[in-house]
Amino acid sequence: MPAEATPWRVVVMGSTGFVLPSLERLIASSDHEVVAVYTRPPAAKGRGQQLQCTEVHKRALELEVPVETPARFRDEGAVERFAAYRPDMVVTGAYGLILPPAVLDVPRFGCINLHASLLPRWRGAAPIERAILAGDAVTGVCLFRMETGLDTGPVYSRGEVPIGPATTAPQLHETLALLAADLLLPTLQGLADGSLVPVPQPDDGVTYAAKLGRDEGRLDFRLPAAQLERMVRALEPRPGTFALLNGERIGVRAVTVVQGVHGTPGEVVGTPLLVACGEDAIRLDVVQRPGRKAMAAADLLRGWTVPIGTRFDPA
C-alpha cells in the first residue's frame, strides 16, 4: 500500500558535510518540506577555543531552515520539541547522536539513515576510513530504515563505487555524499507510492567500523609499506598519521610505496625520507613538524638534517 502522497514534512539530522548534498536536494525539491535541521551543538575549537557551529548548522541557516542542537535526547523536553515539528520522515547522515525509540517512533514513515558502506559490512562510526584501511576494492552507500540496533535495519536502496589505489578518505567522503543524495529522492518516492520494499540485511559479512582514535595513526614501520600507505590515505586529514623521530611527532600527510627496497624497519635508507618497512619501503612525501606547516620532505630537509641510517622511534 502506498504510504501517502507527498509532500512530506522532513527533518534532516547530520553533523558533517556528508548530509549536505541530501539536504540541498530536499530543499530544492517541491515534493518535500524540510521543517528542521538537527546537528551537534557548537563546540570549542582552535587555539582560541571559540565556539564553532557545524558546517551543517551554517548551511541550514543560509537556507533559512530552523536549526536544533540538542546535546542529547534523554530528556522529555528534547523529544517533545522534536515531535512538535510533526515530521513524516527523518533523514539522518553522520549525525553523531543516538536516536532513542522515543524519537524513532515519532515520524509517521520512520527514519532513513544514509550510511557510507555496503551494509552489513562496516557498520558503525568510521566506515569510509575502515574500508580504505582494509584495502577494500569497492564500497558504497546504503539507505536503510533505522531501528534500535547499530546500523542493523533493512536496506531501501544502495549504490556502489570503486576505491582506487590513490583514493583518500576526503575524496571518498565527497563521492559517497553525492551518491547518497542521488539515491534519496527516488527512495522517498518509492516509499510514498508503495513500490519500494526494504531488504533485510544478511547475517553473514557483518563487520564493525570502530571510531578512530587520536593515536591510531602512528606508523609502525614493521608493517608492509602498502598497509602504511593505506593508513595515510584513510586517516588524512583527521586524525592524521605520524611517526616519532627522537621523540618528536612528525606528521605524515602523503607517501609513496617504493618496492624492492629493503632495510631495518624504520631506518632511513634514501632521500628524501625513504624509510624501510617490514616489506618494501615508503617515501614520506609531505611531512609536518610540530607547530609548522606541512611541506614537501625535500623542502623540509633543506633546514633539517636527517642522515641516511637514522631510525624512527619504534612503535
In this predicted model, what pLDDT tens digit does every residue of 108-131 receive, in sequence order?
999 999 999 999 999 999 999 999
Instruction: Answer yes or no: is pLDDT of 76 > 90.
Output: no
Residue 1 above 60 pLDDT? Answer: no
In degrees and rounded to multiples of 5, residue 112 shows phi and psi of: -110, 130
Average pLDDT over residues 68-92: 94
Ordered domains of the chain (ranges, CATH): 8-208 (3.40.50.170), 214-300 (3.10.25.10)
Q: CB-based contacts of 87: which residues, under 8 Å, 6+ apart?
A: 9, 10, 11, 35, 36, 106, 107, 108
CA–CA distance, 100 with 32 (Å, rounded to integer): 25
- Whole-angstrom Cα distance, residue 130 to residue 207? 10
* For residues 20-25, average pLDDT: 98
| pLDDT recorded at residue 303 | 87
What average pLDDT score do residues 307-314 get?
96
% of the chain exceeding 70 in pLDDT: 98
Phi, psi (rounded to 5 degrees) for 153: -70, 165
Query: Predicted confidence band at 5 (pLDDT cuts at 50, 70, 90)?
Result: low
Rounded distance, CA 113 to CA 173, Å?
A: 16
Average pLDDT over residues 286-312: 94
Query: Is pLDDT larger for residue 214 or for residue 95?
Result: 95
- The 8-class DSSP code of residue 214 comes to G
Backbone angles phi, psi at 277, to 5 degrees: -125, 180
Please give the order of strands across the beta sheet that includes 32-38: 67-68, 32-38, 8-14, 89-93, 111-115, 138-145, 155-162
| C-beta separation of 36 from 68 below 8 A | yes
Mean pLDDT of the chain: 95
Mean per-residue pLDDT, 194-221: 95
Q: What is the pLDDT of residue 6?
A: 64
Question: Above 80 in pLDDT, residue 39?
Answer: yes
pLDDT tier at 203, thresholds 50, 70, 90: very high
Mean pLDDT, residues 250-258: 98
pLDDT band at 4 (very low <50, low <70, confident <90, very high): low
